[in-house]
Structure formats: C-alpha cells, structure tokens
Amino acid sequence: MDRNSVIGFALLALLLVGYISYNQYSQTQYANKMRADSIAYAKTHPKPLADTLKTAQAIASTDTVNDSLRNALPAAYHGQAQVIKLENKDLSVELTTKGAHPVSAWLKAYKTSKGGPLYIFNGKGNELSAVLPVNNGATSTADLFYTATEKTEANGDKSVDLYADMGQGKGVHIKYSLPQEGYMMNVSLSLDGMPANNLAFNWQTHPLHTEKDITTERNNTQAYYRFRNEDHDYFSFIRKDKETLESSAQWLGLRLQYFSTAIIGDNVNLNKVNIAGNTKLADSNIIAENKNTFEAVATAAGNAPLNFRWYIGPNHYKTLRSYKLGLDEMVPLGYGLMFFVKYINMWIIIPIFNTLSGFISNYGVIIMLMTIIIRLVLSFFTYKSYLSNAKMRVLKPELDELRSKYADDQQKFGMEQMKLYRSAGVNPLGGCLPTLFQLPILFAMYYFFPSSIELRQEKFLWASDLSTYDSIANLPFNIPFYGDHVSLFTLLMTASSLFLALYNRNMTPQDPNNPMLKWMPYVFPFLLIGVFNKMAAALTFYYFFSNMISIAQQFVIQKYIINEKKIHAQIQENRNKPATPSKWTQRLEEMQKVQADRAKHGNKNK
C-alpha cells in the first residue's frame, strides 16, 4: 500500500469517529429534551397515581438522569439515606430515612460475652414496613425516602417524626418515640390521601450472637405470640420453621436466650399472621433469620393512625410482667409436662430471689442462702423421710425372717409384710412421699436458673458467668454426650450425688429381690453428667450445694435427733394397741388377696 492509500484510510477513520461522536451527542440532547417535555406535560396533565409511581421509580433508578430531573420528582422517590438516633437511658435505636425503620438496637446496660456493646440486631436484614394501598401493592414504606424531625416531648419523651411526600396530596407519616427510660418504643403510622385502616406488614429480624455458646442461643430462639383472647403459645425454630396463626393476635415476639423483641398491636389486631424462622446458618455472627408477615386491622372506624408498641430488651421477668401484656411468658419458668413448676417459680422462688438480691450483691451467696431457706422449709418432710427409714431399719430383722420363711411365695410374703407394718404402726410409703414433695422444687430450679438474666455475667468462685457453664479445662476434641470442656461444678454435683446415694444405701434397708433399685442411684448421676456439663453454672452449683446440705441434714438427724432404741420401744408399744388399718393399707391388702386368689386358681387350672 502506497502513501496516498494510507492517508486516505486515515481521513476516513477520522470522519467515522467524528460522525459517531456527533450522533451520540445529538441523541443525548434529544433524550434530555424529551424528559423535560414529559415532566412539563405531566405537571399540566396529571396521570393516575399508579402510572406516576411507575414512571417516577423508573426515572429515579436511571443512572444517566441529571440532578435537576431527579429533584423534579416527589420527595419520597429520591434522597440520601441517613441514620437518625433515638435513645433514652436504656435503649438506643438507629432509624434510617430510607424506609423509616430501625436498623440497629443497642442495649446500653448489657455487654456481649466478649465484652463488646450488645446489639439485638444491627445492619441489613432488619425491617418493619407496610405495603401501601397504591400501585397495586407494589410500593412499600421501605421503598420511600423520608424527612426526619427530632423532638423532645413535654413529658421528656424523645421522638422522631418521619414523613415521605409522595406528591398529589399523598404521604406517609411514621413516628417513633421512647420514654426517658425503659425498653418499650411507641410506633405510629398514618397516611395522607390513602386509606390506612387495613395494611399488610412485614417484620423481619436477624438477631446477633451475644452469648458464650451459639448452639445454646439457637436452641433457645423461639417465636412467641399472644392471641386476643389472651391465650398464648410458642415454638422453637430448631424444631419448626414456620407457623400460620388461625386467630387474631395481640402481639408477636422473638425470644432469644436472654433478650427479646416483640411487636404489640395497640389499636389494631394482627390478622393473617405468618411466622418463619431459621437457625441453620453458616454465619456465626447471626443466630437466626426471622420473618413475620401480618395484616394490621384497625379496631375502630375512621382513618386514625395505626399504633404499635415495640419491645426491645432483656428477658427480665419483673420488667416484662410490669407491662401487663403477658410478655413475661417469654421467660420459660416451666412448660410441657412440667408446666406446674412455673407457679412455684412465680410465687415462691422468684420472690425469695428478688428479696435476697435486694440487699446482697453476690449471686453465689444468694444461691447458697436460697438453698438453705428451701431446705429449712422442707426439713419437716426430710425428717419424716429419715424417720420412716429408721423404722424400716428397726423392722429389718423381722422382715428378713418373713422373707426367708416365705421365699417361695411372694404373695404370702407381701401380705405378712403389710401385717407387720400395720402392727408396728409403720407406713411403707413414709420414706417416699416426703421425697416426692421435694421433687417439684428441684424441677423448678432446673427452669429458673438458666432463665434468669440477673445471673448473666455474674462471677462466683472460678465461674466467670453463672448463666452459662463453668469451664476449668477446654478439651482439644469433643467427647460424645459430654462436650469439649470440663465443668467443675458438674463434677462436684456428680460426686456429691454419688456420696449421698452411698450414704442413703447404708442408712436405708435394701430389697434383695430388686437389684435395679440397688444400683440405680449410682448409675443415674453418670447418665446426667453429659447433660449438666453444658448447663448454667448456677444450676449445677445449686444441686451440688443442695446435696451437701442433704448430707449434713441426714447426719445431724440420724446422729442427734432419731433414736432407734426409742423407735423400737414405740413400735413394741404400738403392737399392744388395737391396729386400725388405713384405707390405703386396706386397699393394698385387698389387691394382694385378689392376686393371691388368681394365682391359686391359675395353679388349679394347670
């Protein structure tokens, strides 16, 4: 190719580049002119609201639109997201002006297990929004931009008013307010130019990991709800991932291990409630994903604001109970087959605990004093149990004679045994019933201590936190049914249980025909050691200290109070008196006679 050809091709290339550049410039100018004309036309020829919203949302999302064009849209469709802080003495909530909902909640009085500030939730995935009755339900309060006005009320409450101007006389008002202290936030939503007495809501939360053991946290993540008829229910996300409520609800709650958040309808019913949750997450910073949808229906006619209360705070029984909304049900003091121990905790254990904590700051000492008080109250039953065992020991030689005499006839031995007991004035169940009366207290403590937020991060002896397990050694491996750590309180509890079983065995007559009862007291503590190794240190310490008091009580009663010679003399005296069998003894003898007759008839038929 010669020089003239090269020059020719270069000129053609320059012409082509110039043509393309001029053409793109002309198209941009034309597009801007068309947008300007469209806006000018829209101002003089308003479209239906649905079309306006679609156009506004499309233009607002266009990257190439200029600032003047964006600013021509209603204020609700453009803006810069900002964070507004609403706080009081106990709670700090951050609200975003894009969506007008909380994005974080910080509890000022609490720390995480690692010592950092404790946030119930923080960041994306947290939202409270309503579907607006425009654009065929395609617009939510979370899609809009709001202007915020901070205010301090005359009573000292602080509030943030958020308003989204949608144009054409339509807008959204959302107001959040907090009292000077406490964890209950008020929420109010009202609409301008739109019906607001029936709105669909979306409430979702991603609660954060705050405790020592994330597995325990996830196991304790539960959905709670209370119906308008004041019945309540719950379910755990580890067992169930969703639920649809058939009846209208008063409030919905998400319970974590020691903290909760709940939405309460004030002048609205929560209808068509759908609850969904998941704890099987790879992210160890988040313990669950919770998403709830419901329909808020105003309880009165008109276009009044929809009012809610939003609890974000600790699972503190006294605090939750003070609201008189049934929120205290989120503190598990006894449920399922053990529902009755809830009332023992409510009426006995919690009042004693609160009274002691009013003037004692060391919770380890409080647990010890509670144990002593409870054991003193139950000492009457304890004494009755040991007295019955002493009577059985006195009668043991005579029982051994009957057992050898009727070794081949257990039915006859049983009848003669009852006659012996009746003549001596001994109740064979006297040692069992007092023990049974003490079991509800043991079960009540099983629920009380792991549910008490007061014990959270309280130190005692080597335990750095009484609300979780104490660990004197972390293992480099996991032992099945035990764990990867060693709890000293659990080991002490097990050792004291074994010692108490051995002591009782020496003091209680044994039935040679039932070897299972002989060995069960020794096997049982080992069966539970893996379970209690992960339990709250307060609970295992209570059981250990209770065992030690039982050993001391038994020693004192057997050594200084019960005199077996006097008991033997009393039994002999009872034998000289006419025996009046109790109804229980009569029934037991009748049953034994019936069984003996059946056995005789069976042998004859053979």
> Whose CA is closest to 188, among 202, 203, 168, 172?
172
What pLDDT is attached to residue 63? Answer: 46
Contact indicator for 133, 199 with CB cutoff of 8 Å: yes
Q: At 46, which amino acid appears?
A: P
C-alpha 196/C-alpha 358 separation (Å) is 48
User: Which residue, chain included where needed, has tokens 């049983």?
Assistant: 414
Contacts of 385 (CB under 8 A, 6+ apart): 430, 431, 432, 434, 435
Q: Which residues of the chain have pLDDT under 50?
A: 1-13, 15-17, 19-20, 22-28, 30-56, 58-65
Task: Specify the pTM.
Answer: 0.78
Please name the fold of domain 83-331.
Beta-galactosidase; Chain A, domain 5 (2.70.98)
- Over residues 102-157, the pLDDT tens digits come to 999 999 999 999 999 999 999 888 999 999 988 777 789 999 999 999 998 888 89
C-alpha 352/C-alpha 377 separation (Å) is 12
Helix (H) or strand (E) holding 584: helix 583-605
What pLDDT is attached to residue 133? Answer: 87
Which sign, positive or negative, has the C-alpha torsion 366, 368, 373, 374? positive
Question: How is 299-355 classified by DSSP, letter by letter?
Answer: SSSSSPPEEEEEEEEE--HHHHHHTTSSGGGGS-S--GGGTTHHHHIIIIIHHHHHH
What pLDDT is attached to residue 15? Answer: 47
What pLDDT is attached to residue 107? Answer: 97
Neighbours of 209 (CB within 10 A): 20
Question: Which residues partner with 313 through β-bridges?
Answer: 260
- Over residues 548-577, the pLDDT tens digits come to 998 888 888 877 877 767 777 777 766 666
What pLDDT is attached to residue 59? Answer: 46
What pLDDT is attached to residue 592? Answer: 62
Q: Where are the domains of the chain?
A: 22-73, 83-331, 341-462+537-586
C-alpha 494/C-alpha 527 separation (Å) is 10
In the chain, helix, strand, coil percent, each to 5? 45, 25, 30
Question: Which residues partner with 190 through β-bridges?
Answer: 173
Contact indicator for 124, 54 with CB cutoff of 8 Å: no
Contact indicator for 344, 441 with CB cutoff of 8 Å: yes
What pLDDT is attached to residue 9? Answer: 42
C-alpha 299/C-alpha 270 separation (Å) is 10
User: Which residue, chain included where needed, has tokens 């020496």?
Assistant: 506
